[in-house]
Structure 1
């Protein structure tokens, strides 16, 4: 959220909505699409919406039940990002065009794959295979964003953060650290409603770089002209530690 600037997100293959609910509680506009009727029935999002955990999020059509082996589906509006973890390896290639229709509605795609066997792992490939496949659909692979998110995952793994459902375990985002790939979709990213993406502040004031323009009014007036401060549209959503803790507590009660 803070570097890429994601404010709207579609979680493809969201399962019970565990990841989707994290983004939801952080203030991201979310939608959750899942093919398993059982998972939809046990999804977290309806109860979170009822409890008003994020009053700014539209409550209609937050969850969509759709099986991509039966045909394509896509969100009504374009979105900042796709979050897709542990899906690609489970969907045979004749159905790839069906989920690509959803991916094409996003400016940025965060997606994992598998390099080893498992239950119904029918598309197991290395990074290069998936990069080539996505580029055939017009996506641009971002080596920098891929390395950035994998590095964050590794930092969190090394920090040994206690896992909320079992304090003897720690967070280990293996899919993120080893196989997550990030793609840019120029056709969507270039649209005006996604101009806020890549939200790192850009001002340099008295030796400080990447700061918000004009925030220190006493020191910035001689260096930054009036009207340079970013409007709310271009400012990122800040990570909220208190909401993360509430999310962990919610998992303890409901998983």
Structure 2
């Protein structure tokens, strides 16, 4: 690594804005696959995913983080991807899917209309199907499968908050048997659940902590499964275990 790459690689993720995250992801991916005959196309795939996610999320911002500045939403999936890379994950489909993981759920209409040429007024379910096939053509079946597993299904109207939380947990637990999906969901969990202390809304912190706390035990159990070593380095699994802070969530949930 060059001196500047070394400096970027040592930065805490929360100190990195979108352009630094993009640089770090692409340089890390290029280094990881430089001996691969398909290395250039792998980097191009990840870069294309970053382009799509950046475009789709362009009008979104993350939740207020106390004294920290409000940031563009795309920093969230990019942080997730870089965190996975720092855990030793180099599988291209996993990194690509992590970058795209919220696009279908949050931005299906934008992508379907503006990037795929779909007409207005089709409805969320139709737009999701269009984005599904767009991703299938662009990134392949494995990426689509992972993104689909990370996308919360549409919920019927009238559900209580407890019912919505139960559906969320049920969906997550039904999908994390796939090691790629688990890693992608885990880094999403870390960036969402373990950054609640930055929020200025105590009621929201308590509510979300209670939801995320239900995942700590099954995630801890899943981290002991040997199949994860096909995706994550042994050191990375130790880092993941260290980051899984159930005590913090338990205190926040009250």
Q: Decide which structure has greater helix share.
A: 2
| Larger radius of gyration between Structure 1 and Structure 2 | 1
TM-score, normalising length from structure 1?
0.29
Q: Decide which structure has greater strand share.
A: 1
